[in-house]
Amino acid sequence: MHLLILGSGGRKHALAWALARDPRVTRLSFAPGNAGTAALGANLPLAATDLDGIEAWCRSERPSLVVAGPEAPLCLGVADRLEAAGFRVFGPRKDGARLEGSKVFMKEILAEAGIPTAASARFRDSAAAKAHCRAQTAWPQVIKADGLAAGKGVVIAQNLAEAEAALTAMMEDKIFGESGSEVLIEEFLDGEEASIHAVTDGRDYVLLPSSQDHKRVGEGDQGPNTGGMGAYAPAPAVTPDILATVEASVFRPLLQTLRARGIAYRGVLYGGLMLTSRGPKVLEFNCRFGDPETEVLIPLLETPLLDLLLATVESRLGTLQLRIRPASALTVVLAAPGYPDKPVTGQSIHGLEGPVREGAAVFHAGTKAGPGGAVASGGRVLAVTGTGPTLPEARALAYQTLEGIRFEGAHYRRDIGHRALGRT
């Protein structure tokens, strides 16, 4: 089989890493890929959002399956476009991808389905939004840009001044373009965050292991938010009782509501949850695998990834017996200097030569091929994953592997997994 994977980040390399091990996969192509995917197949000079170029390439090369990795092409309608041309796509169509593409739309769906979430108000006028904030007595408040903002569209405002500054930046200065034309102002939910990924064919679904990531750039969860500095799975905070509650109160009513609206959702439903004292509540939904969560979920799959993808696009997930390894995985992100604000790139990466330790994997994210090997090309450069019988063993393996990799100015968190380890 010939597969095309859209995207260039760490989650795409993790997906490719698993698929390349399957003897049924004879050819892998990537649009555009990175230095890691180049070792597994062919990188194409196509952006993941170049729908015209991707469709033309598919018509010429006839891939067996297209795996849409990032949210941007899904929100642009890449699945609609390619399915209309006769190609199979793992990923929702544009109407389903709105769950991530519009936070206002997501809130409408959650309300219709009766799914627990934070109380919120929506605004298109910055003056009205600021007046709403001035009337608040409970802080912090959460300001969210409606549209896609590369993971930077959420501000936890500790006071009125921070809220007004965020609203000015989003709605008046247009730092996120049209994505900030409408905003949500939400109550702040206190608790512990967790992620749960479901893969669905629109009717049936399977759950992947729970996970937790680390958003802040610094140890002790200090500093600015990032796309994620590390993750681990499964998450001890998500007990069997909590998971059963999430299935009953979130995933089942969500899929029922999408079907009632005529939305045939096929792909990943990645729920960001807050585990509050009043039960789990939904913070957000994403229409693709999380990053860096994918880098810990994929190594825990015992069922071949290709089986999961094909069962989804062929609408037969109800017959798939998903098998998960009885193990733990932890990944640590190696970032470029200046990340997340102004990452400095172009450094040669050393220590990638030769085989990695058994149970470890090094996933490329912001890398590209240079004359002497891989060079840093993005803020999050590599994700180093360890897998083991227990979380402490997985963690030790990840950090041991990371010690052998270096590039100028590289930084990473040394406390990934601290929440879970604190429970033991």
CATH 3.30.470.20 fits 192-421, yes or no: yes
pLDDT in tens, 210-262: 999 999 999 999 998 899 999 999 999 999 999 999 999 999 999 999 999 99
Query: Which segments of 160-277 does DSSP mark as H helices, in order?
Result: 160-167, 240-246, 252-260
Provide CATH code, domain 125-181.
3.30.1490
Over the stretch 81-96, which tens digit does the pLDDT of each residue have?
A: 999 999 999 999 999 9
pTM: 0.95
CB distance 238 to 210 below 8 Å: yes
Q: How far is CA 322 from the centre of its chain?
A: 21
pLDDT at 424: 58
CA-CA distance, 413 to 218, in Å (whole number)?
6
Which contiguous run of DSSP H or E holds residue 156? strand 154-157
Q: Given a cut of 90, is residue 423 above it in pLDDT?
A: no
User: Any idea of the CA torsion for 341, 170, 99, 75, to the nearest 10 degrees?
Assistant: -70
Pick the CATH number of 2-94 from 3.40.50.620, 2.40.110.10, 3.30.70.100, 3.40.50.20: 3.40.50.20
The reply to whether 2-94 and 192-421 are identical in fold is no
Model confidence at 152: pLDDT above 90: no
Task: State how far the Cα of 199 lies from the Cα of 265, in Å rounded to an integer.
Answer: 10
User: Span 349-356, mean pLDDT?
Assistant: 91
Q: Examine the pLDDT at 330 and tell me if it is beyond 80.
A: yes
Q: What is the pLDDT of residue 151?
A: 77
List of residues 6+ apart from 206 with CB closer than 8 A: 198, 199, 200, 308, 317, 320, 322
Length of the chain equals: 424
Strand partners, 144: 154, 184
Question: H-helix or E-strand containing 376?
Answer: strand 373-376
Give me the chain's average pLDDT, please: 97
Domain boundaries of the chain, sorted by first residue? 2-94, 125-181, 192-421
Q: How far apart are CA 21 and CA 35, in angstroms?
A: 18
Mean pLDDT of 195-205: 97
Q: Which residue has the tokens 């730092």?
A: 175
- Looking only at the bridges linking them, the beta strands covering 328-335 and 380-388 are antiparallel
Sign of dihedral through CA atoms 177, 106, 267, 199?
Answer: positive
Q: Which whole-number Å values give the CA distances from 300 to 25, 295, 336, 357, 397, in the listed order?
A: 20, 9, 28, 17, 15
142 forms beta bridges with 156, 186
